[in-house]
Amino acid sequence: MSTAPSTTTDEVPQRPAPAPSPSRWAPLRPLILRLHFYAGVLVAPFLLVAAVTGLLYAGSFQAEKLVYGHELTVPVGRSKLPISEQVAAARKAHPEGTVSAVRPSPEADATTRVLLSGVKGVGADHTLAVFVDPYTAKVRGALEQYGSTGALPVRTWIDELHRDLHLGDTGRLYSEFAASWLWVISGGGLALWFSRRRALRKVRGTGGRRRTLGLHGTVGVWAAAGFFFLSATGLTWSTYAGANVDELRTSLGQATPSVSAAASGEHAGHGSAAAASGGDAGHGVGLDKVLAAARAKGLGDPVEIVPPADADSAYVVRQVQRSWPEKQDAVAVDPATGRVTDVLRFDDYPVLAKLTRWGIDLHTGILFGIVNQIALALLALALSLLILWGYRMWWQRGRGSAFGRPVPRGAWAQVPPYVLVPAMAAIAVLGWFVPLLGIPLAAFLAVDIVLGEIAHRRGRRTYGSAADVK
């Protein structure tokens, strides 16, 4: 006779483990994945050009010193000649154009630069820099110069290649497009990387696409802060976003101030002779007294002296050191009396004006000198590697297919309305403030919605899954 198995009161029926509830991140991940992937594929060529030219620019400072050593440096003598004599020597060698500024020798072994504007064959936004030995007044050469940083032909050529590919205002759209999307691609990559399980982030002991992904993610995480910075600072002087930034700063009272160059009322009209001669010592108080007045107000080297623009203007003497610590003080000096009529201190700049100045100088590799330039070179190299690894993953995911398997469409439909609606509003704002980000992003979402709807109506299934891609 068989007996039924006995039960005890200690036994409790086991309930099935509850299914894990989807996290708030789950609906967003496919959308960020799709955006990161396609933005990376389409924007990466522009970013690669910006990275390579940026790498070249980081090395242009040292190249400039090597190529133009004769013009930039001189043997140290006993005492420097008056500025007026140095300018006279430059004008004797180069009487063309007009003197737009003078940069006295800032160091014992450095030449004085006399900048001439309106010179035939020199671009309207460039000047001809005449280099003068401050001890002998001998002219050591003349080179075309661009910008307030004093860039000479080698650095100018690389700078313009990086900024606009030598295509002018139209070419500037490429760099603004790249800067507009760099932070989006970096932010999306960070979100995707940290959403992966820790075990899937390892590089050692892996191969194939997983190893490429590990390298791509690891380097991207370490370089992300630098990419955010380059994106933000690059946009500050771009064509469209930069204009909006300037307008916003102005509305907030944070615009960069400038010293008043108006001559004092009782002496207005006496600056014309000085302006016409470039501030020669025989007219007005002369460059030497103007420089002495600026020195008395604490303006140390390096400085730039700008002659009066017209009969009602004053001389402007401003510091031009953009390495740390910044020296950006400026004074206006009456050409008739040599009296300082206005003073502007960098310490009195609004906060956003200071941040903009520091950000631009850090972006261009000036603020911390060679260390700054090495850091920029490493960021440019990292961005180049990330792009190449990204394209390699694209190829590897397709297992030999030229384009790989498509990332699933319609991910936007999985996003909750309380997230999707604010996101759409943010895109609208971006479309106005950063148009080369907002407009393509809105177009991407519109195309994605249309294609997803067509595929849905035709009953086509999407290929792959988010797990297959990341």
Q: What is the pLDDT of residues 93-107, one digit of tens each?
A: 999 999 999 999 999
Q: Clarify whether residues 41 and 110 are in a common domain.
A: no
Q: Clarify whether residues 43 and 176 are in a common domain.
A: yes
Q: What is the pLDDT of residues 267-310, one digit of tens each?
A: 555 544 444 444 443 357 899 999 999 999 999 999 999 999 88
pLDDT band at 22 (very low <50, low <70, confident <90, very high): low
Q: Clarify whether residues 264 and 289 are in a common domain.
A: yes
Q: Is residue 15 part of a domain?
A: no
Q: Clarify whether residues 120 and 46 are in a common domain.
A: no
- Tokens coding 426: 């943010």
Q: Clarify whether residues 54 and 181 are in a common domain.
A: yes
Query: How confident is the model at residue 400, as a pLDDT?
Result: 45
Q: Clarify whether residues 242 and 388 are in a common domain.
A: yes
Of 299, 314, 348, at which residue does a domain stop?
348
Contact indicator for 174, 165 with CB cutoff of 8 Å: yes
Of 93, 114, 148, at which residue does a domain stop?
148
Q: Is residue 422 part of a domain?
A: yes
CA distance 443 to 181: 14
Domain count, the chain: 3
Q: Clarify whether residues 344 and 274 are in a common domain.
A: yes
Q: What is the pLDDT of residues 429-447, one digit of tens each?
A: 888 899 999 888 888 777 7
Q: Is residue 390 part of a domain?
A: yes
Of 318, 348, 378, at which residue does a domain stop?
348
Q: Is residue 186 part of a domain?
A: yes
Question: Is residue 113 predicted with pLDDT exceeding 90?
Answer: yes
Q: What is the pLDDT of residues 349-408, one digit of tens each?
A: 999 999 999 999 999 999 999 999 999 999 999 999 999 999 998 888 764 444 444 455
Q: Clarify whether residues 389 and 460 are in a common domain.
A: yes
Q: Clarify whether residues 54 and 170 are in a common domain.
A: yes
Domain that holds residue 424: 28-58+166-249+370-469
Query: How confident is the model at residue 278, as a pLDDT?
Result: 43
CA distance 66 to 155: 12
pLDDT band at 199 (very low <50, low <70, confident <90, very high): low
- Tokens coding 200: 């899937």
Q: Is residue 365 part of a domain?
A: no
pLDDT band at 423 (very low <50, low <70, confident <90, very high): confident
Contact indicator for 416, 97 with CB cutoff of 8 Å: no
Q: Clarify whether residues 213 and 90 are in a common domain.
A: no
Q: Clarify whether residues 54 and 176 are in a common domain.
A: yes
Q: What is the pLDDT of residues 11-20, one digit of tens each?
A: 445 555 444 4
Q: Is residue 36 part of a domain?
A: yes
How many CB atoms are located within 10 Å of the residue 270 CB? 20
Q: Is residue 68 part of a domain?
A: no
Q: At what angle do helices 172-195 and 240-251 cross, to 10 degrees?
A: 80
Q: Is residue 217 part of a domain?
A: yes
Q: What is the pLDDT of residues 411-421, one digit of tens each?
A: 666 777 877 78
Q: Clarify whether residues 245 and 262 are in a common domain.
A: no
